[in-house]
Amino acid sequence: MTETHAEVGIIGGSGLYELAELENAETVEVETPFGSPSDALVVGRLSGRSVAFVPRHGRGHRLTPTEIPVRANIWALKALGVRQVISISAVGSLREEYRPGSLVVPDQIVDWTKSGRPKSFFEDGIVVHTSVADPYCGRLREELMAAAHSATDTTIHDSGTYICIEGPQFSTRAESELYRFLKMDIIGMTAVPEAKLAREAELCYSALALVTDYDCWRSDEQAVEADLVTAVMARNADAAKRTIVRLVEKLPADAACECQDALAHAIITDRAAVPPSVRERLDLLIGRHLNA
Ligand SMILES: CSC[C@H]1O[C@H](OP(=O)(O)O)[C@H](O)[C@@H]1O
Ligand SMILES: Nc1ncnc2[nH]cnc12
């Protein structure tokens, strides 16, 4: 287990594979009960705070959305001591007004994944039903919006429902129309299970989504392609990075938040029935609840 400590975690998405702003950066390999994270984490100083960065698709973008070891990524951040996580993502827009180039701080998620991605840390003898009614931390969302407003002049949408598809293919036109009919605002492939697992790990978690395209619902525009996403990300990555720097500068170190006690009423299994091996394996997440 590593001795390195970090307070804030940043998960980088498509087009954001490193955070050069981190000073005195150190590469940290973290092993977890759920295998290795997407890549080595980089821990360094940002605005005087200790920050850990992990690129969710790995450096060189090697992992499909389905292959991302999300449990290992979240576990690794928790193991470093992180309590607040910002996720950066490229998203398509399902609404005229969410224009490419704008930023969104989503407030809801619809899970449209199909492959059976592992969505919980808890299994094999322990059952935990965690509330994800509000899947993003409300307090961290406010801080993130304030930081985005003060760090960029880009349009910022202060809410939005993110529909998470399986991928790796983009949607058909009929699917894109269906999601619009369902009143979804933005579309991507990675919010699930990341947000849900962050809640299970009792981390404050919020996302900064960069709109890169209009998916394929507009007849007057070319349908989204990966090259378009990375080109638009390259143009807007600076706004995202400036927002992160400003956010970290302002983030309270000891913010009390209900996310950090999310399992208080969630563990349904009789404490005496939890197998010792499971207690031991998941101690980082549930030790304080089982031993209370
Ligand atoms: C490169 S286009 C599709 C790809 O981009 C988004 O990834 P991320 O959320 O990590 O920025 C989307 O979810 C897909 O994985
Ligand atoms: N249109 C889109 N669909 C799914 N994921 C995306 N990521 C960026 N744009 C996307």
pLDDT at 1 (0 to 100): 52
Q: pLDDT digit of tens for each residue in the chain (292 aa)?
A: 568 999 999 999 999 999 999 999 999 999 999 999 999 999 999 999 999 999 999 999 999 999 999 999 999 999 999 999 999 999 999 999 999 999 999 999 999 999 999 999 999 999 999 999 999 999 999 999 999 999 999 999 999 999 999 999 999 999 999 999 999 999 999 999 999 999 999 999 999 999 999 999 999 999 999 999 999 999 999 999 999 999 999 998 878 899 999 999 999 999 999 999 999 999 999 999 998 7
pLDDT at 3 (0 to 100): 84
Say what the alpha-carbon torsion angle 100, 85, 5, 252 is, to the nearest 10 degrees.
100
Please tell me the number of the ligand nearest to residue 223's CA: 2
Say what the alpha-carbon torsion angle 269, 273, 277, 283 is, to the nearest 10 degrees.
50
Pocket test for ligand 1, best of 70, 89, 94 (most atoms within 8 A of CB): 89
* Residue 120 in marked binding region: no
215 carries an active-site annotation: yes
Residue with CA at minimum distance from ligand 1 atom 1: 226
Q: Ligand 2 centroid to 263 CA: how many Å?
A: 32
Please tell me the number of the ligand nearest to residue 12's CA: 1
Q: Ligand 2 centroid to 272 CA: how many Å?
A: 45
Does the Cβ of 90 fall within 6 Å of ligand 2?
yes
Q: Ligand 1 centroid to 190 CA: how many Å?
A: 7
What number does the ligand 1 atom closest to the CA of 87 have?
A: 9
Torsion angles phi and psi, residue 200, rounded to 5:
-60, -30
pTM: 0.98
Residue with CA at minimum distance from ligand 2 atom 8: 91
The structural domains of the chain, ordered by start, are: 8-115+133-257 (3.40.50.1580)
Give ipTM to 2 decimals. 0.99
Rounded to 10 deg, the angle between the 70-79 and 283-290 helix axes is 60
185 carries an active-site annotation: no
Helix (H, G, I), strand (E, B) or coil at 56: coil
Amino acid at 150: S
What whole-number distance in Å separates Cα of residue 152 and Cα of residue 119? 34
pLDDT at 179 (0 to 100): 98
What number does the ligand 1 atom closest to the CA of 188 have?
A: 13
